[in-house]
């Protein structure tokens, strides 16, 4: 897929927001003008920030006293493996499900995890959903109090009306299982699948071949029914899904401008696709904090705030989702060598709606998104 580079010179501006100014000052205080890559003692785990930059890759970083260029001119590897782990944690998330049988509303808290693996070898690439589902959380330890009322009695008492006054309605019950929003994407990563609006896709895999500039599935009508149906949904979007999974470069990237630590940028319009491919409206504020390695790969760490909207976004689970996302705070790590987002830690307020298979799902609430990508070119 030939990347379409959109210059961002016109949209790189100092941000007047007080919170962003404060973040700029904090970033400047941290780096104190030092433009060498940040280092952490010891080694870090896969996809974790810190550690030393690989010496061969360090030689490719375009850094001077005037700042760093986030490059897009280096040849993007055509042989690579990319493994992305995305966890989404819901906190007080309200979910409504509607079908021909009626509607159900409840609280859908918990942790969902999706692991997708892309392998590319020239004009051929494959994807495997290594894992999809909820992450078990141990029950909170509780100390028994012989004199304390039973939990059910306590809950009933907390919602009992005062004499002569109507009491508040009880909170909605939890939904089971407890998923986060179905099909909700992290920036630069494929949407997390939860199984809420469809079958469990764990273990499914597909192979695509580039034919005339389009990625086509090999043997799309062979295999079990769920795989055939899944391939039928995702094949037209294979190139975009591979970009989300870092098997292909982001279609938009920064203009050739040097950034110093503490620089503030505002992305709007189509330029938001630097971070969120498919975003249609919104505004994102970034502050470049420091250079930092991810698995030895040279990256730039940015703080991020803002909001964006996506309509009809296709996820690797084969579902389309409408999204409205507000990022209250977060960090992202962008490659200094290629148009790639390798890690993101975001605190969001998310509203997601999907409709498929006779089931409409709407989710709204606080969701923490953590995504890390192990990106390894094959030499």
Q: Which tens digit of pLDDT belongs to each residue from 323-347?
A: 999 999 999 999 999 999 999 999 9
**pLDDT interval class at 45 (50, 70, 90):** low
Its pTM stands at: 0.75
Residue 263, pLDDT above cutoff 60: yes
Q: How far is it, in rounded angstroms, from Cα 94 to Cα 113?
A: 19
Cβ-Cβ contacts under 8 Å for 65 (sequence gap 6 or more)? 35
Spell out the domain ranges in the chain. Answer: 9-38+48-135+176-377
Distance in angstroms (rounded) separating the CA atoms of residues 327 and 2: 30
Res 367 pLDDT > 60: yes
User: What confidence tier does 123 reach under pLDDT thresholds 50, 70, 90?
Assistant: very high
What per-residue confidence (pLDDT) applies to 223?
80
Q: Please count the other Cβ atoms lying within 10 Å of the Cβ belonging to residue 100.
A: 6
- Which of 131, 128, 126 has its CA nearest to residue 87? 131
Share of residues in the chain with pLDDT > 70 (%): 71
Please say whether the beta carbons of 132 and 114 come within 8 A.
yes
pLDDT of residue 332: 97
Q: Compare 208 and 191 and report the one with higher pLDDT.
A: 208
User: Which tens digits make up the pLDDT trace of 101-116?
Assistant: 999 999 888 999 999 9
Q: Which residues of 286-298 are buried (b: 16+ CB within 10 A; e: fewer)?
A: bbbbbbbbbbbbb
């Amino acid at each position: 897929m030939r990347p379409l580079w959109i210059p961002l010179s016109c949209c790189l501006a100092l941000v007047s927001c007080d919170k962003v100014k404060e973040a700029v000052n904090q970033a400047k205080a941290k780096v104190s003008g030092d433009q060498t890559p940040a280092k952490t003692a010891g080694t870090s785990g896969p996809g974790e920030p810190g550690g030393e930059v690989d010496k061969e890759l360090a030689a490719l970083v375009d850094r001077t006293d005037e700042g760093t260029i986030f490059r897009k001119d280096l040849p993007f590897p055509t042989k690579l493996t990319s493994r992305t782990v995305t966890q989404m944690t819901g906190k007080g998330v309200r979910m409504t499900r509607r079908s021909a049988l009626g509607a159900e509303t409840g609280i859908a808290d918990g942790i969902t995890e999706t692991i997708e693996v892309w392998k590319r070898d020239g004009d051929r690439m494959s994807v495997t959903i290594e894992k999809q589902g909820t992450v078990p959380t141990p029950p909170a330890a509780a100390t028994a109090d012989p004199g304390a009322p039973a939990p059910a009695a306590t809950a009933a008492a907390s919602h009992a009306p005062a004499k002569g006054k109507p009491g508040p309605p009880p909170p909605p019950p939890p939904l089971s299982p407890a998923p986060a929003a179905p099909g909700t994407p992290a920036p630069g990563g494929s949407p997390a699948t939860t199984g809420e609006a469809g079958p469990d896709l764990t273990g499914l895999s597909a192979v695509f071949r580039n034919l005339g500039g389009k990625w086509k599935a090999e043997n799309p009508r062979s295999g079990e029914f769920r795989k055939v149906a899944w391939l039928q949904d995702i094949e037209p979007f294979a190139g975009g899904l591979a970009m989300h999974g870092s098997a292909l470069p982001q279609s938009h990237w920064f203009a050739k401008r040097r950034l110093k630590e503490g620089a503030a940028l505002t992305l709007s319009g189509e330029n938001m696709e630097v971070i969120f491919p498919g975003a249609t409206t919104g505004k994102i504020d970034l502050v470049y904090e420091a250079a930092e390695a991810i698995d030895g790969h040279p990256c730039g760490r940015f703080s991020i705030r803002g909001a964006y909207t996506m309509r009809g976004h296709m996820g690797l689970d084969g579902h389309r989702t409408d999204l409205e996302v507000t990022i209250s705070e977060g960090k992202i790590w962008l490659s200094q060598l290629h148009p790639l987002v390798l890690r993101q830690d975001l605190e969001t307020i998310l509203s997601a709606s999907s409709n498929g298979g006779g089931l409409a799902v709407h989710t709204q609430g606080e969701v923490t998104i953590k995504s890390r990508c192990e990106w390894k070119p094959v030499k």
